[in-house]
Chain A
Amino acid sequence: MNEDYSLSEYLWNLFFVGGGQPIIFSTVEFWILLVVIISGLVLTGKHNTVRVAYLFAFSLFFYYKANGFLVFMMLATSFVDWKLSVTMARITSVTGRKCILAFSLLMNLGLLVYFKYSVFLMSSVNDLLKTNFPLPEIIYPVGISFYTFQSVAYMVDVYKRRTAPAARLLDYMFFLTFFPILLAGPIMRAEKFLPQIAAKPKIRPGMIWGGFWLLLLGVVKKAVIADYIMQFNGWVFGSPSDYTGLETVFAVIGYSAQIYCDFSGYSDMAIGVGAIMGYDLGVNFNRPYRSVNVTEFWRRWHISLSSWLRDYLYIPLGGNRKGRLRMYFNLFVTMLVAGIWHGASWLFVIWGALHGIGLVVHKMCRPFLEKINDSVVVRIAGGILTFSFVTMLWPLFACHDMSCAYGVYRNIFMSFDISLLLPFVEARFMWVVLVLVVFVSQMLPDSLVDGARRWFVSAPLVFKFIIFVVVVQAVVQFSAGNVAPFIYLQF
């Protein structure tokens, strides 16, 4: 359902209208800008400062498109943080450094709480105390959860002297606002990313083509698979009572595939664009649905967030160093925070709490599980159990309120009819195929996946072009009329 503008209206909207219009990587607008950005990189050549400034300018433009004039708030807070970090690194007084860190955390987390949780907190107070306080009307800055965690990690690392502060304000602002990771991560660590920014980039042609391969892979995951699958899932989660138990089960499984493709697809695109620019942004998803237990799932799913939570919450709480009961408590609290981080809703809190319970149960059972022979059958059983657990909790993500979540679970357990399976598959054959493709691809051997990437990187340009055309055509064939926003942009 494209809105056709005249060319002048289109260009005006693209370059000058900001706020509420994030540039999605799978859109034509982004690809036009990518050509412009890469052309500039060729011209900046060996001048690293010019290169960084050039990419920073584009990052500010991307931020402006998503959040309008809140770009100035982001610039102001990042300037304050950088100044504080430089001061904190210089002074030796422990109290002084603690005060600076506390101030920075209060500022960053305070803004996050204000923008993201004010309405939720106020409406919860109203519900609890039967009051009628007016709910504030707040414009939510896209990406605030991600770059807030990134700046918190930076300040803590500087405080603990794990990393030196960014030498230049430009470097820090680039670190925080680099456009591929700005809106939905991965959450980068200063010790890994700042040195790449400060030094001349160590780019190789293989890195550029490897990045382009990841970018195309991400486009397929998001714009071909996720956007197609969601067309059915969205109807079921919109009104579960209108659908059968079997349709609901399929929608839940489909959502499992959708959220993976949506989020890992975005990550692939972000990491791929970063690689094209010459920056290594790590790995954010490592085929999580092949996990055989919940602990492994969280080492494969949204790795930048789970490692952040481990390093800046779980370990400071004591980790596993203060006895078993304290470890279980720390795990539970960490996952509770993970849930809250995802969204201002009791559903996310419950989701996080249940994952916390899952992790605790796994830790409790570990002594017994380690005695079981690690055979293929055991791994398959573990995989099915883990997948079922994770998938059954996704409705808490997908549903807009408690009654929807209740409707979903009631459908699954109270009105499931297997006889509807064949008619469903017949009606939605392509949907079923795409969902299966997602899960089968999780089980492919690493050698095959790496081999495909290596082949693409070394293939002649004409083959790369053919694959590019095939991907774009697939997007055209399978995409919905309008581009669906990334699920994780709402976080």
Chain B
Amino acid sequence: MSEKHRRKISETYISLIVLLLAGFLLFAGYSFTGDDGGVGLVKTRIAGYLRGTSAGPVSSVTVIEDTEPEKSRENVQDTVPKRILLLGDSMVEGLSKPFGRYAAVNGHELTSVIWYSSSSKTWALTDTLEYFVRKYNPDFVMVSLGGNELFVRDLENRKRYVSDIVERLSGIPFIWIGPPNWKDDTGINSILCSIVGHDRFFESRNLEFERGADGRHPTARSSSVWADTISSWLMNTSCHRIRMERPEGTVAPKVKVIVLSNARI
């Protein structure tokens, strides 16, 4: 290899290194300007492909006006069929079908919005929540978030995000299904319980799950049992008790599923 050729190869390698480092600095730079600070190597504030959504700081989010009188938190079961909106992260994928069976048996109308990899931050910093509430006008909401936040360190920010979501759901009865921990979390469950309230927060972390190949998501069978446990709590213990009689035999799920592409914010 001649000296000239060797120099050309070295220059090419250096160009490649510069390209990689420049990319790294670009994405790391975005992370440092994010709400939660710290070193988040591949986080970006560029919003993903979402229907009718945009990213914005938490303080600029508009709270939904109450269109229905707030239901009092009494220990009375509401037997009226509901328009239920189930939304959250990939755990909703496993919960959709079992809750769909509950919907079929109890006369509810269920819509599931699955946003893979989402967290309280994602839902708080976009208007995806308002979009689907406006579109489907639910009179009951089930939120399943927290699985992507088990190891977060910016707990103060998470409190803000969760509070924001709760505030945006004011006027609509809701419950929050806690994540099915596969390891101890850094505090997200405590935050959820304290802000949402123990009578609206279903704590899943101490339940036993059969996990899929990734060691995290409960299997479909385990998700079904999880849904049974949640439904029993919802019907008998929570502050918004709706009819959730257990389906017997083979029941086809009645659920409309919407899957949003992943987005990191």
Contacts and interface: CB of A to CB of B under 8 A. Distances in A.
A328 B220 CA distance: 42
A38 B12 CA distance: 10
B187 interface: no
A238 B41 contact: no
Nearest to B150: A1
B32 interface: no
A464 interface: yes
Given A231-B90, A476-B44, A276 B263 contact: no
Interface stretch (A86-94, A204-212, A255-263, A301-309): A204-212
B44 A239 contact: no
Greatest chain A CB density within 10 A among B13, B21, B43, B46 is at B13
A198 B206 CA distance: 58
B63 interface: no
A339 B217 CA distance: 29
Contacts of A468: 19-20, 23
A304 B221 CA distance: 39
A239 B221 contact: yes
Contacts of A28: 41-42
A238 B24 contact: no
Given A3-B151, A4-B151, A468-B19, A242 B256 contact: no
A114 B248 CA distance: 47
B124 to A, nearest CB: 17
Interface residues of B, number: 60
A478 B261 contact: yes
B13 A1 contact: no
A298 interface: no
A203 B12 CA distance: 11
A365 to B, nearest CB: 38
Interface stretch (A39-47, A95-103, A154-162): A39-47
A333 interface: no
A429 B114 CA distance: 13
Given A479-B262, A482-B214, 19 more contacts: A1-B147, A28-B41, A28-B42, A31-B24, A35-B20, A35-B24, A38-B17, A46-B6, A205-B9, A228-B261, A234-B212, A430-B261, A461-B15, A464-B19, A465-B19, A476-B264, A477-B48, A477-B49, A479-B117
What are the 9 A-B residue pairs with the smallest beta carbon separation, nearest first?
Answer: A239-B220, A205-B12, A427-B257, A3-B151, A430-B261, A481-B117, A477-B48, A242-B220, A42-B13
Interface of A: 1-4, 7, 28, 31-32, 34-35, 38-39, 41-42, 45-46, 200, 202-205, 208-209, 212, 228, 231-232, 234-235, 238-239, 242-243, 276, 400, 423, 427-431, 461, 464-465, 468-469, 472-473, 475-482, 484
21 contacts: A1-B147, A3-B183, A4-B151, A7-B39, A28-B42, A34-B20, A35-B24, A228-B262, A231-B116, A238-B213, A242-B220, A276-B16, A461-B19, A464-B19, A472-B42, A476-B27, A477-B48, A477-B49, A477-B263, A479-B117, A480-B262
